[in-house]
């Protein structure tokens, strides 16, 4: 199992990066990551790619994440709850992909995304505490990128989501290297 953790983390990071490069190259910087569902729906009729991305990230990444949690966490029982919450919230994001249609879906979608991001970051600060600085470094780089691309006002949520995901992927990559 130890050998399989690193490839799972790398495959998930690769899928996430390829998806974002595809989106950025065809549509520019979106308002948020979930908005890519609508860009793909309107332009290319490929709206299924956003739910597929989220499902693939959950299915491929969560076994590695759970293993790393069991290996590094001092309070495994309590920190694993954060992982399950993130996975559950990601599945809700898949169900709520078409969130602009109804106001209730809109608020649920954003609430679920915020809860997921907070739980990801909490896990980093609790379990991978020696890498506590990584989210701040990525956030700084994201805001620099947003400032230089002049998207700091319209795409702020996108940069925060990128920060949360990349922080988690990079920290788990570093943890899997230290097994």
Separation CA 80–CA 101 (nearest Å): 34
pLDDT of residue 129: 94
Identify the band that residue 128 occupies on the pLDDT scale cut at 50, 70 and 90: very high
Average pLDDT over residues 86-115: 90
Question: Do residues 170 and 138 lie in contact, with contact meaning Cβ atoms separated by under 8 Å?
Answer: yes
pLDDT of residue 172: 96
Identify the band that residue 159 occupies on the pLDDT scale cut at 50, 70 and 90: very high
For residue 89 the two structure tokens come to: 């919230």
Cα angle for residues 52, 172, 59 (degrees, 5° grid)? 25
Domain boundaries, the chain: 2-177
Q: Which residue, 168, 41, 88, is CA-closest to 30?
A: 41
Burial of 118 per CB tally in 10 Å (0-12, 13-18, 19+): middle
Separation CA 4–CA 64 (nearest Å): 8
Which has the minimum average pLDDT: 47-51, 56-60, 99-103?
A: 99-103
């Amino acid at each position: 199992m130890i050998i399989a953790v690193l490839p799972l983390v790398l495959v998930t990071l690769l899928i996430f990066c390829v998806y974002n490069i595809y989106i950025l190259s065809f549509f520019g910087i979106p308002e948020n990551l979930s908005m890519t569902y609508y860009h793909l729906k309107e332009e290319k009729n490929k709206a299924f790619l956003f739910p597929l991305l989220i499902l693939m990230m959950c299915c491929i990444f969560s076994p590695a994440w759970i293993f790393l949690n069991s290996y590094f966490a001092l309070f495994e029982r309590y920190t694993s709850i954060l992982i399950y919450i993130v996975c559950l919230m990601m599945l809700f994001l898949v169900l709520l992909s078409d969130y602009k249609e109804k106001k209730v879906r809109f608020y649920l979608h954003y609430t679920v995304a915020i809860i997921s991001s907070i739980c990801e970051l909490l896990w980093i600060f609790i379990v991978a505490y020696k890498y506590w600085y990584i989210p701040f470094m990525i956030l700084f780089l994201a805001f620099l990128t947003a400032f230089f691309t002049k998207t700091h006002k319209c795409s702020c949520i996108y940069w925060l989501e990128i920060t949360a995901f990349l922080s988690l992927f990079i920290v788990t990559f570093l943890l899997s290297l230290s097994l």
